[in-house]
Amino acid sequence: MTTLLGQRSLVQEAAALRAGTDDPVDAVHRTCDRIDAVDPQVRAFVPEAGRRTRLLEAARRSAAAPPDHADRPVLHGIPVGIKDIVHADGLPTRAGSALPPEVLGGLQAGVVGRLRAAGALIAGKTVTAEFAVTAPGPTRNPHNPAHTPGGSSSGSAAAVAAGMVPLAIGTQTVGSMIRPAAYCGVVGFKPSYGRIPADGVIPNAASFDTLGCYATEVAGVALAASVLVDGWRAQETAGRAPRPVLGVPTGPYLERADAEALDAFEEQQELLRAAGYVVHEVPVMDDFERIVEQLFTMNRYEVARAHADWFARFGDRYRQETTSAIRQGQTIGDAAYEAARERREAFRARLAADRAAAGIDLWIAPSATGPAPAGLDSTGSSIMCLPWSNAGLPAVSVPAGQAANGLPLGLQLVGRFGADEDLLHGAAGIERVVNVAGSRRADGRTRPGRRG
């Protein structure tokens, strides 16, 4: 039986393709062979007739130029999955919906243009929850197909976890990048709001929507970020201290994680302390319920307005979950929305002040409330990502051991707004520490108990 899990290092493949020890045509065959072998079970990609032919034509053009290896672009010949709310020339956009693709069409997204300019090959569209809201697509978790891969960037995370592509693009409005990364056991990076332009992307809630990427290691998402993120400042990380000061956001937010996730998080903290990291516990967000209410007031208002025309024309084709979100948004008036925007600005300022006062470089928290839930009717809870998305902060999820059922767990690292480079620099060291975490596994070992 073919394993559904696979590891393709973006850093290694990019280096080999640029050096000429690998060939874009061979990379395409690897990609298509792997998709043919495992995607009937995982269903990460939107089906496409003639995928191999299309990609081989692009690969042969890529292989032909330039002959000087030093002049080859950063992602020369790299196959990339693109979430199916992101427009890409030559591929229809369906957004996981039953609406006519011609209605949803638009100009190619800037992020796809950047990928193609960097030499990447578009392997295809990856499955999304309908319009990146909550109605799940057909994608399954490669670690256990009876469990959700998360959402809404389900296909992108699963495609990387299954070894179909070494890089995939997703989006996050609340928890749509970080949660699937944790559930699927890969690295997911959501930059600061606005640092990757969102033109050519069907909006969920434009005040929050953020493009990001998946790879199997932090170095891979950093390589992709150097191409995708506006004003990337790679040189600024040189010579920085390898151990940022870490902050644990104690209080009602953290209490939303389940017992197993909190036990794992406690172990991850102990591992980090043992490795020389300073970890502070910082009480924050004592009004967490109001923060949740504020975000969803803005989110639902913006969803309803983004879909006003399509919903009026094709409302009977929307799935129940998306319809419910739009209907909720239609009941929210302009005054309530503006009040929620003001509360968000106050929250952002307060969170930044709390970080500065505590001397925190990075917040750490569970990436999700626990491992991927069983079943495909839900994509899981986004609550552990909510405050950081609300504040527009950059975040990364790194694999951090396993739950008792063998499914992956993730550790979420959150940086200062605009300091994405520092976040990924710090995450590279933390990744090496917490990858060994997760002692409540099938081997029966137990974690130390949580502190009271």
Residue 444: per-residue pLDDT: 42
Mean pLDDT for 116-143 is: 98
Is omega for the bond preceding 66 within 30 degrees of 0, making it cis?
A: yes
Q: What is the pLDDT of residues 397-429, one digit of tens each?
A: 999 999 999 999 999 999 999 999 999 999 999
90 contacts: CB under 8 Å, gap ≥ 6: 54, 122
Between strands 79-83 and 210-215, the pairing is unpaired
Domains along the chain?
10-237 (3.90.1300.10), 246-434 (3.90.1300.10)
Please say whether the dihedral angle defined by the alpha carbons of residues 259, 262, 267 and 268, taken in this order, is positive or negative. Answer: positive
The whole-chain average pLDDT of the chain stands at 94
Reply yes or no on whether the pLDDT at 241 is more than 80.
no
Mean pLDDT for 234-241 is: 56
Q: Which of 157, 165, 164 is nearest to 139 (CA)?
A: 157
Q: How far apart are CA 445 and CA 443, in angstroms?
A: 6
Q: What is the pLDDT of residues 14-41, one digit of tens each?
A: 999 999 999 999 999 999 999 999 999 9
Mean pLDDT for 57-74 is: 86
Q: Kindly provide the b/e burial profile for residues 367-386, where b requires at least 16 CB atoms within 10 angstroms of the residue's own CB.
A: bbbbbbbeebeebbbbbbbb
Q: What is the pLDDT of residues 339-370, one digit of tens each?
A: 999 999 999 999 999 999 999 999 999 999 99
Residue 68: per-residue pLDDT: 77
**Under 8 Å between Cβ of 202 and 215:** no
Reply yes or no on whether the pLDDT at 439 is more than 60.
no
Mean pLDDT for 208-234 is: 97
Residue 364: per-residue pLDDT: 98
User: How confident is residue 240, by pLDDT bands cut at 50, 70 and 90?
Assistant: low
Reply yes or no on whether the pLDDT at 448 is more than 50.
no
Residue 446: per-residue pLDDT: 39
Q: How far apart are CA 382 and CA 98, in angstroms?
A: 25
Mean pLDDT for 39-64 is: 96
Q: Which of 114, 109, 227, 120 is nearest to 171 (CA)?
A: 109
Q: Which two tokens stand for residue 359?
A: 């001397």
Reply yes or no on whether the pLDDT at 171 is more than 60.
yes
At residue 80, what are phi and psi to the nearest 5 degrees? -130, 135
Name the more confident of 446 and 161: 161
SS3 of 415, please?
Answer: coil
